A and B are shown apart, each in its own frame.
Chain A
Amino acid sequence: MLAAANQSGKRVSIWNLSNESAAQKRMSLFGTTGMLSEFGELFPNLQAVILCGGWHSSAKIACREHRNRLLLFGRPFLEYLLCDLVAAGIHNIVLVRAMAEKRSARISARERSLRRRFNTRRRREPRDRWGAEKCTTAFCAATRFSS
């Protein structure tokens, strides 16, 4: 997408959150819904896409202590994201999980390299019991989302 943007001559805008002050960050915590309501007229059906078909490898160190990689303080990781988006007024959400269903050779190779470094059993368990799909299904059943 970035390459397409550059080729077409359209700009790629970058918002560096590291430059935000603590006060601005606090404002953003409490001002999200209000600001988005102004955008409701411009983007009434704003859609969010969550890429959740991976191996959740960003949390590998935090989850080493936990039985389940996809649980954070007892809540499914996706639930935090979904609640955040709903609080911001975004109800149209697409969950992309193709990689979890159809693993490519590249992903398998990555898994093998991870297996050498981490406990394989613990990594496999959440995919069967609390994987992204099951977490999402349970969350959607309890709310007005449809998956």
Chain B
Amino acid sequence: MSSPYIPRGREEERRMLAAIGVDSFEDLLRAIPPSLRLPGLLELPGPRSEYEVARHLESLAAVDAGGPGERFFLGGGIYDHWVPAAIDHVASRSEYYTAYTPYQAEVGQATLTAIFEFQSMLAELTKMDLVNASMYDGASALAEAALMAYRVNGRKRILVAGPLHPNYLQVLRTYTRETGIELLVDPAPGGFTDREWVAARLDDSIAALVLQSPNFFGGVEDGEELFAAAGQVGALAIHVFQPHALALYRTPGEMGADIAVAEGQALGSPPSFGGPGLGIFAARRKYARRIPGRLIGETVDRDGKRCFVMTLRTREQDIRRAKATSNICTNQSLLALRATMYLALLGPEGLRETAELCLENAHYARDAVIALDGFSAVHDVPFFREFAVHCPRPAAEIVASARQRGVHPGVDLGRFDSAWNDRLLICCSEKHERRDLDELTAALRAAAEEVAHV
């Protein structure tokens, strides 16, 4: 008896194994060394009814969305901005609601039009010549940028300037580990690029210089001098940016970056427990044939009508195998669509107002937080919407206590490095009103006092 959820029973399995001349399913896995295999079964809870599972998912969703009155000050790579209702409505239309570009891409002109608009808007925002059809997330976009630099100049060292998000660094290490590429990582003690440290290492052995700004701790640094210095020695300049920040600060194109990458989730998609993400990848025109992923191009059909085609597909891995420009053979269409609608709905003015509110709220909050007993700023640098503070007690305890009051006060940086156990990374957005910021301060004060009395 077949089930809609269970593709095969014992009898089907026996017949399939007999057909290929194998005794048991285990025999098929014999080529995998035992050290790489999971001993026993996954530790999963037992079966539950559909209703029980629905209740469980509801409770998870409630945490993610925040119960009534909960306040979120979490950033650290994924950001909580207002998502206009029109986005969910349009994105869930059946013409669009697939995560993938159709296999015969040109049949889906609506999808290609949306991706073309995505590329065009992001090119305008970044002031870069071209933007690809999107990648999996910001971290993998950075890793792809590093590999591209290696393909362009054949050099095997990547120089990371300033504080880069530790997760991005981890992904960069994973992508480059088997390539022989060496990573040189600025310790950046001041929360900014250590310019002397970088200058001492920036020579003609460097494939690319990477600068994240706003950086992991929220600091905003101008990249023009660093990028020019990289260009002097033939290294590519890679700017890891944040889309909202470009409404207020100089863009990667204006600062002379060769490649610009970002996490685009904040443009119209919710935090969703940290994903899915949207990788934005932009480059200068002269590198058009070197970029990973695909581009949507505008052309005319045989009747002379405007239409869109997918280009550079031929350089992807399913066709070029080992010689592919990257191992991505798709893009992140659904989130790219949401980002496109977000930018269209807000417009340049709306994006700027949103960014200004983030900036104002973050500065108000920081002044108030560091005025509290026991709290102090970790760095003294210009920042956009995030800032790190030292707490009087381990940040994990502060977070746990504040959450009892319905306030998620920030990211405990001890999660990334035990030397940062007392650091809290606080993020503000346009969603916060003055009273929310005052609640943050009150929750932190109470958390510090409560913990102190234990």
A binds B: no
- Residues of B in contact with A (beta carbons under 8 Å apart): none
- Residues of A in contact with B (beta carbons under 8 Å apart): none
